[in-house]
Amino acid sequence: MAELTHFDAAGNAHMVDVGGKEVTERIARAAGRVTMAPETLALIEQGGMAKGDVLGVARLAGIMAAKRTADLIPLCHPLQLSSVSLQLRCERGENCVEIEAEVKLTGRTGVEMEALTAVSVAGLTIYDMCKAVDRGMQLTDVRLIHKSGGKSGRYDAGS
């Protein structure tokens, strides 16, 4: 089993020293969903929410969040990301908005936390923009689905 890297020998939290790591292209994809009432999803699709374009605002919020991850998660390194993209899809059969984020950089540490943060904040933004009509929405299934680059290599969920 892998060791926890954010604790020193005495058990104190510390930021991992990545100075000796190899510079490689690193990519992470994360996904999640916001489930809601069918009427809420219809309002999102029709652009009928009073606060505006729910998916557009959520996409921007996710991008901004990925760039600010080190400000939110105490032991994350501030990173110069080369790319952040979010896809948001309305899924009528599931009464949800599916969210997927992809984050890239060429550097010494991975971008998994940035991708997960992007998905989480995009989902929270959807909730915020729609809560006036549906307080029963749920942000669920936030997870890493792919990671590549670096010493630990490739990870694909479900394989």
Active centre residues (catalytic): 128
Q: CA 36 to CA 17: how far, in whole Å?
A: 42
Task: Return left, alpha or beta for 47; rule: phi > 0 is left, psi -120 to 50 is alpha, else beta.
Answer: left
Give residue for tokens 């479900």. Answer: 158
Q: How many CB atoms lie within 10 A of CB 39?
A: 11
Q: CA 59 to CA 132: how far, in whole Å?
A: 20
> Alpha-carbon torsion 159, 93, 91, 117, what sign?
negative
